Amino acid sequence: MTTTNQPNNGAAEKGERGRTVDAVLEKLIGTAQKITVVALAGLLIVVVLLSTVHLGALIVEEVLKPPRWLIPVEGLLDIFGYFLLVLIGVELLETLKAYLRKDVIHVRVVLEVALIAMARKVIIEEPNTVPGTTLFGIAALILALGIAFYFERQAKREPLHS
């Protein structure tokens, strides 16, 4: 006697195999992501350390130029711009660290990096050589990032209503 359940058993086996393949594929992709993020973090650590050394050398160079111990405004702008660039690297490391811990990129850290990048742009830009529309665009970006940062902070403060 044959039963009518045999075709269903085959479909159930295919469904289980499909779920197993999906689970293996998901684990493989997750592992590849972790390895990639760890590699990126390692490379970023090297870049941040080398950049910090370069920043120190830049400061020493500016301090030793005549007149000694006085840094001209142009030198200060270069130092501050480079300092903010290193700070962006440190914040990116924080983003990667949070991603490794919780598998989530935090919006607040991304907004902080963007705000630091815009601050750096404002510091290193010569207002006399930049078109007015570019300056308005930079101002609009900073305003938009500030508003996004404000709303992101407000969203964290609101209690969840259950």
The arithmetic mean of pLDDT across residues 75-100, rounded, is 90
Mean pLDDT value across the chain: 86
Query: Given this model, what pLDDT does residue 146 score?
Result: 93
Q: Is 2 contained in some domain?
A: no
Q: Say how many domains are in the chain.
A: 1
Residue 31 CA to residue 22 CA, distance in Å, equals: 14
Q: Is 5 contained in some domain?
A: no
Residue 31 CA to residue 26 CA, distance in Å, equals: 9
69 dihedral zone (left: phi>0; alpha: psi -120 to 50; beta): left
128, burial (CB in 10 Å: exposed 0-12, middle 13-18, buried 19+): exposed
Q: Is 6 contained in some domain?
A: no
Q: Is 7 contained in some domain?
A: no
Q: Is 3 contained in some domain?
A: no
Q: Is 153 contained in some domain?
A: yes
Q: In this predicted model, what pLDDT tens digit does every residue of 88-99 receive, in sequence order?
A: 999 899 888 888
Tokens standing for residue 57: 């050398």
| Cα 74-76-79 angle, rounded to 5 deg | 115
First and final CA of the chain: distance in angstroms?
57
The whole domain housing 69 covers: 12-157
Q: Is 1 contained in some domain?
A: no
Residue 131 confidence (pLDDT) above 80? yes
The phi and psi torsions of 65 (rounded to 5 degrees) equal -70, 150
Query: Given this model, what pLDDT does residue 124 score?
Result: 86
Note whether 86 and 113 are within 8 A (CB).
Answer: no
Q: Report the run of H or E that residue 86 belongs to, with start and end.
A: helix 73-102
Q: In this predicted model, what pLDDT tens digit does every residue of 14-58 receive, in sequence order?
A: 667 778 888 899 999 989 988 999 999 999 999 999 999 999 999
Instruction: Indicate the pLDDT class of residue 162, thresholds 50, 70 and 90.
Output: very low
Q: Is 162 contained in some domain?
A: no
